[in-house]
């Protein structure tokens, strides 16, 4: 672990503990309300997370609540979801060059093949990028945003889905992302909503708190603050669409989110029963309460 962290927004140490879970502490800044893990993970701890085990935890009999337990299996669902997001983006930017930061397996880039956008993705996971290039056949590159070799302001739109909660400093991250966006261009973010109804309902047991790789947790208020601090304007918030998942996702998630032999037994038993009954692919809505955010680079040409 790194030493104790000051708030990236106001740079004070005036914090109150929100949750303690699995040897880590989540705090809220008393001045601006930003919620984050303190002390944070180190650079090496972060980079070692994003391997094959991260994306396919269930294959490795994982129940550590790190990453995804069956990401590749969800490919059709994710591609369809991303097609909807591309339609949404076209309301702001009808066509042009698009960059996805944290492209993972390339499923957003796959959806973009049938859009007016020329999409490129970057990710720090060599495993995920290798899959994206070989299996999805998209323009994905192993690249850290802070060391990106693209020309400044070369993209009409930049997107990052479920990523900003993973970074070490959201203001620094957004400033680097802004350098990629053309003047007047669009930034689109998606992240768990710390100010949403699921967070209020579950309190300190909110599922997003359980992911070890989640380092920041944003409400509309704190998201607006970090975007403004990075130099973005015209910040707007939208509710996410309802996403439908097969029962196997719910059954598998039990042992993933709740540790212990009992929950592993429950998960495996329900999965076996579902297989016998032939209902594992029946889809149900999953209320994720995701925050969808757009912002504009206000710089002039």
Degrees (nearest 5) of the Cα angle 297, 299, 301? 120
Residue 275 has pLDDT above 90, yes or no: no
Residue 54 has pLDDT above 70, yes or no: no
The β-bridge relationship of strands 155-161 and 181-192 is parallel
Tell which residue, 31, 29, 50, has the closest CA to residue 41.
50
Tell whether 206 is covered by a domain. no
Domain count of the fold of the chain: 1
Of 4-18, 67-81, 167-181, 248-262, which range is least confident?
Answer: 248-262
Of 15-19, 64-68, 181-185, which range is least confident?
Answer: 64-68
CATH of the domain at 163: 3.40.50.150
Catalogue the E-assigned strands of the chain.
15-21, 24-29, 35-37, 96-101, 117-123, 140-142, 155-161, 181-192, 216-217, 233-239, 243-246, 283-286, 290-296
Domain range for 171 is 69-201+212-244+284-296
Helix (H, G, I), strand (E, B) or coil at 269: helix
Tell whether 7 is covered by a domain. no
Residue 26 in contact with residue 36, Cβ under 8 Å? Answer: yes
Tell whether 11 is covered by a domain. no
Residue in this structure with the two tokens 């973009």, named with its chain if needed = 112
Q: What is the pTM of this model?
A: 0.87
How high is the pLDDT of residue 242?
80
How high is the pLDDT of residue 59?
47
Tell whether 154 is covered by a domain. yes
Q: Read off the pLDDT of residues 171-204 as tens digits, 9 standing for 90 and up.
A: 999 999 999 999 999 999 999 999 999 899 888 8
Tell whether 264 is covered by a domain. no
Of the pLDDT bands very low, low, confident and very high (cuts 50, 70, 90), residue 51 is: low
């Amino acid at each position: 672990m790194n030493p104790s962290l000051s708030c990236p927004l106001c740079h004070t140490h005036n914090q109150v503990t929100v949750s303690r879970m699995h040897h880590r502490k989540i705090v809220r800044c008393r001045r601006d309300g930003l919620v984050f893990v303190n002390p944070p993970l180190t650079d090496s701890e972060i980079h070692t997370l994003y391997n094959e085990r991260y994306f396919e935890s269930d294959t490795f009999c994982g129940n550590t609540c790190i990453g995804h337990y069956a990401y590749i299996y969800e490919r059709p669902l994710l591609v369809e979801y991303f097609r909807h997001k591309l339609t949404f983006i076209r309301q702001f930017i009808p066509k042009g060059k698009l960059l996805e930061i944290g492209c993972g397996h390339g499923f957003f880039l796959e959806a973009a093949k049938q859009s007016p956008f020329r999409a490129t993705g970057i990710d720090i996971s060599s495993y995920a990028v290798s899959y994206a290039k070989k299996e999805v056949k998209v323009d994905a590159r192993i690249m850290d945003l802070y060391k990106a070799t693209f020309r400044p302001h070369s993209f009409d739109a930049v997107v990052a889905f479920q990523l900003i909660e993973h970074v070490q400093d959201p203001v620094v991250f957004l400033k680097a992302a802004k350098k990629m966006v053309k003047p007047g261009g669009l930034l689109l973010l998606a992240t768990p909503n710390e100010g949403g109804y699921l967070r209020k309902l579950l309190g300190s047991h909110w599922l997003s708190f359980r992911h070890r790789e989640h380092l920041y947790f944003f409400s509309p208020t704190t998201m607006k603050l970090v975007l403004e601090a990075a130099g973005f304007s015209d910040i707007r918030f939208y509710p996410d669409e309802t996403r439908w998942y097969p029962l196997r996702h719910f059954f598998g998630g039990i042992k993933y989110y709740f540790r212990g032999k009992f929950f592993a037994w429950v998960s495996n038993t329900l999965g076996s029963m579902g297989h016998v009954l032939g209902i594992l692919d029946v889809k149900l809505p999953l209320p994720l309460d995701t925050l969808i955010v757009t912002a504009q680079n206000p710089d002039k040409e």
